[in-house]
Amino acid sequence: MRTRINIGKVLISTVLAIVLCACGGQPSPKGQPQQQAETALVQTEKPKPKAEKPKQTSTQKKKADKPKMVRLTEDNVVEELTKYGRQNPEKRVRIITSMGTMVVELYDNTPLHRANFIHLIKEHYYDGTEFYRVINNFMIQGGDTDGYERRAVKEKIGKYTLPSEFREENIHKRGALSMVREYENNPEKRSSPFEFFIVQGTVYTEGELNGTEFNYNVKISPEHRAVYKSEGGCAYLDGQHTVFGEVVEGLEVIDKIAAVKTGQGDWPLEAVTIKMEIVK
């Protein structure tokens, strides 16, 4: 059975989407079980040799030296993710879906979001989840669930939000990986730690970009205007959600997922499942 998703968390009102957008390693495996010493067949006058403990390989020692991530809270999230990010520098992720595979490059200039995403992947948090909110010509959203098993994993990881990491060069172009956030009682625009979305968007005209600047009080640089007019995206989300990566392979998969038929709450009628892994 499909797990019911908490669709109460929505990243943006559907009205905004229609008006302007109609237009990111595996967990350290358990150490190898210690080998049982084989009992040698010896003559009675010879002492039985002592069983030697198997020697740890350099890889095992390295894994043993890595501290386990503590449970994250609002108070320790910056310190712990900063530390985790130094110890886990990976930034390429493979998102394997039932409709194709995408490769995402995570940005170095959003270190907390990058570290958080890598942490969740290594904890297998996203495996078995779905893209549960899909709006064609806008975005595909996944990452949250109310299923019992996922709730237990979330409880283990912690209860926290991520400080926003807005960067002028990170925009909501086609293929951008961005994080969901609550809009009410969130003046700092902190991100949800679990829910993400990938932008599909549409190509803009010059007039539409002028309208976006006027209606949303944003400034779109000439360089970014060129991107939105050629590649497309959702310009009005800039400065509202933290973009922390982009799809570098498999952009066509976004279109395939965005085109599925949906029902209530923009939930795909056909499950679009997710599995993630680190690209080594």
- The predicted-structure confidence for 66-75, as pLDDT tens digits, reads as follows 567 899 999 9
3-state DSSP assignment of residue 270: coil
Q: What is the pLDDT of residue 150?
A: 77
- Ranges under pLDDT 70 in the chain: 1-67, 145-147
pLDDT tens-digit series, residues 208-260: 999 999 999 999 999 999 999 999 999 999 999 999 999 999 999 999 999 99
The ranges assigned to domains in the chain are 17-24+69-278
3-state DSSP assignment of residue 166: coil
Q: What is the pLDDT of residue 109?
A: 98
If you write DSSP's letter for every residue of 107-153 in order, what string do you get? Answer: PTT-HHHHHHHHHHHHTT-STT-BEEEEETTTEEEE-----HHHHHH
Helices and strands (DSSP H and E) totals, the chain: 8, 8
Q: Name the CATH code of domain 17-24+69-278 (choices 2.60.40.1080, 1.10.3720.10, 2.40.100.10, 2.40.50.100).
A: 2.40.100.10
pTM, 2 dp: 0.78
CA–CA gap between residue 216 and residue 279 (Å, rounded) = 37
CA–CA gap between residue 66 and residue 87 (Å, rounded) = 8
CA–CA gap between residue 70 and residue 86 (Å, rounded) = 15
Q: What is the pLDDT of residue 55?
A: 56
Element (H, E) at 29: none
Give the strand order in the sheet containing 274-278: 131-135, 139-142, 191-199, 176-181, 243-249, 100-106, 92-97, 274-278
3-state DSSP assignment of residue 104: strand
Q: What is the pLDDT of residue 16?
A: 39
CA–CA gap between residue 203 and residue 221 (Å, rounded) = 16
Contact, 203 vs 230, CB < 8 A? yes
